[in-house]
Each structure stands twice: as C-alpha cells, then as structure tokens.
C-alpha cells in the first residue's frame, strides 16, 4: 500500500474515532470516509479548528505561533498606538509587550509613567512594574513594589504577583520565606510551576524526602495529561520527573 494512501487511511480512522468520542453528528463519519482528504479537511476546518481556537490553549498557541513568526509585530503596533494617543492604557499595553520581549528597562519606564494620578496605586500596573524590576535583577525593588501594592490594595489577589514575590525572595537568598510563599502559592496556582518550585525549595532547604513526595504528587496529578498541557507546563512537569530519577 503506498505510503500516502496508508497515511490518509490512518487520518480518516483517527478522525472517525474523534467524531464518536466527542459526540459529534455521525454524518461526519460518512463525509470523512467517503470523501478522502476533502472530508478530513472539512472536518478539521469546521469542527476541530474552531474548538481549538476558542480554547485557552488554542488561543495561546496561536499567539505563540504569531510571535515566533514576527516577535515584534504586536510591539510595533502598540508603539504606533502610543504615538497616536499617549494614554495610560496604551502605555500599559506597550509595557506588557516590552515584558514579553524582555525589554525590561523600557517596561519599567512605561509602567512608572502609568502610575500617576488616579492610577498611582493600580494593582495591575504595580504588578507589571514588579515584573519589570525582577527582570532587571532588582529583586529588592520588585519586593518594594509588591509591598506597595499590598498596602494600597489589601484585597487584591493575583497569582502572577504572588509568583514574582516568591521568586524575588528566592533571588535575595531568603530561602525559608520563599519556600513558605511557594507552598502557599502551590495551593491555587494554575499549572505545576508553583508546585515544582516549592519542591525545589524543599531540596534547597535540606528536606529531600519532602521534596520527593512533592515531585511524586506532581507526577500523579499531571503525568497522564502531559500531551494536553501547554509547552511551559510540560517543561515544569519534566523538571519534577527529572528529580525523581
């Protein structure tokens, strides 16, 4: 059997199984099987692609692909928008792009400019400023910024801000405090990163048995769904597994 024919047959069978498992109308099976290639393409375009595009993972994958093709496309767009209208929102959006591109000095400057008037203690802007300062290696500055955030926004909750806080403590060598923050963060952080970082801090603290138990728990929780995870989450799972060898 020619390779292309065999490959097309495998794809058809796989898509037919997908129809059944996901509860889609059975007429798709006939379209897939009786219209080789065109039927498979139609099913992908009308059923799979919209679903992937509307998911969190799909949207993130789409953004990652766009960034891989032209890393500064969004940055240039928001820079132009700021030139047209110098508003706090346009500064914030450009600052976020600077963080993505690791232009931390530019991000710090932009976030500083945003923190004025009614936005002086805006928690999202302060979180961005803390991320920029952490990126610059200014761990003390990042902590000061987040302490300011907490002082003026005591009810504000952000797993991103909490992660920066824990990492800044680690960067300053405040191991016990960082370990405690990672432990608290791991209870609600989306994905395995916080749990893995907590396990690594347990190792640094001279508690290998507790660290191993943590890594085993991560493997049990995420191991079976590794293929469905975002690439960065898979990397953290692999770190946990590497510490079990």
Where exactly are the structural domains of the chain? Answer: 3-53, 75-173, 184-245
- pLDDT given for residue 31 in this prediction: 84
CB contact set of 80 (below 8 Å; sequence gap of 6+)? none
> How far apart are alpha carbons 172 and 170 in whole angstroms?
5
Handedness of CA 106, 107, 112, 117 (dihedral sign): positive
Buried b (16+ CB within 10 A) or exposed e, 47-60: beeeeeeeeeeeee
- pLDDT given for residue 69 in this prediction: 61
- pLDDT given for residue 50 in this prediction: 64
Of 79, 19, 81, 83, the residue nearest 51 (C-alpha): 19
- pLDDT given for residue 226 in this prediction: 84
Token readout for 196 is 């893995």
Of 86, 77, 138, the residue nearest 114 (C-alpha): 86
Q: Is 0.85 surpassed by the pTM of this model?
A: no
Superfamily of domain 75-173: Tetratricopeptide repeat domain (1.25.40.10)
> How far apart are alpha carbons 126 and 129 in whole angstroms?
5
- pLDDT given for residue 72 in this prediction: 84
Half-sphere exposure of 95 (CA within 13 A, CB side): 28
Q: Which residues of the chain have pLDDT under 50?
A: 1, 65
Handedness of CA 238, 240, 217, 180 (dihedral sign): negative
- pLDDT given for residue 40 in this prediction: 78
Asked if 200 contacts 222 with a C-beta cutoff of 8 angstroms, the reply is no
CB contact set of 19 (below 8 Å; sequence gap of 6+)? 25, 26, 28, 29, 32, 43
- pLDDT given for residue 141 in this prediction: 97
């Amino acid at each position: 059997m020619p390779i292309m024919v065999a490959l097309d047959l495998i794809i058809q069978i796989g898509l037919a199984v997908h129809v059944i498992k996901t509860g889609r109308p059975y007429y798709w099976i006939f379209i897939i099987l009786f219209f080789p290639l065109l039927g498979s393409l139609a099913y992908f375009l009308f059923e799979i692609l919209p679903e992937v595009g509307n998911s969190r993972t799909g949207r993130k994958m789409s953004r990652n692909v766009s960034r891989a093709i032209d890393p500064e496309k969004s940055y240039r767009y928001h820079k132009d928008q700021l030139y047209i209208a110098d508003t706090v929102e346009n500064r914030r959006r450009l600052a976020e792009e600077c963080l993505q591109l690791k232009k931390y000095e530019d991000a710090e400057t932009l976030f500083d400019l945003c923190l004025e008037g009614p936005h002086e203690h805006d928690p999202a802007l302060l979180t961005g400023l803390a991320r920029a300062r952490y990126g610059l290696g200014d761990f003390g500055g990042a902590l000061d910024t987040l302490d300011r955030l907490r002082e003026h926004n005591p009810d504000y909750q952000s797993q991103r801000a909490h992660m920066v806080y824990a990492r800044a403590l680690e960067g300053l060598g405040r191991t016990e405090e960082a370990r405690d923050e990672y432990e608290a963060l791991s209870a609600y952080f989306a994905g395995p990163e916080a749990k893995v970082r907590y396990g690594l801090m347990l190792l640094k603290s001279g508690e290998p048995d507790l660290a191993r138990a943590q890594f085993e728990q991560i493997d049990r929780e995420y191991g079976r769904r590794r293929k469905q995870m975002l690439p960065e989450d898979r990397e953290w799972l692999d770190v946990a597994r590497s510490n079990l060898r």
